[in-house]
Amino acid sequence: MSADLKLVNEKDEETTKEQYVVNYLKSMIAIEQAMEPYKEQKKELRKEYIDNGWLTRHDLWSAIKALRLYEQEADMDDLNDMFDTVEKQFGKKE
């Protein structure tokens, strides 16, 4: 392959990568803009539960954390072991 042809191929590859980056970023921006109203609804839902005294901020945090762990199929025994290790190293929080 000639040096000129190799240079053209490398330039095409860079252009393609740049195009992928730009397309990816445009898609991410569109998705984030579409999600914005839902983020506001989520804040309002959280505020409603706290304002009505149905749950505390800590209750909501714990529930969401539990849901995320469930979704990730977390091994609770491993998590408890790790928690115990951290607690031994840093002491109990008061």
Handedness of CA 22, 27, 30, 35 (dihedral sign): negative
Average pLDDT, the chain: 90
pLDDT digits (tens, 9 = 90+) for 49-62: 999 999 999 999 99
What are the extents of the domains in the chain?
A: 1-52, 55-94
46 close to 55: Cβ distance less than 8 angstroms: no
Mean pLDDT of 36-40: 94
Is-above-0.85 flag for pTM? no
* Residue type at 42 in one-letter notation: K
In this predicted structure, the answer to whether residue 1 has a pLDDT above a threshold of 70 is: no
Burial 1-26 (b: 16+ CB within 10 A, else e): eeeeeeeeeeeeeeeeeeeeeeeeee
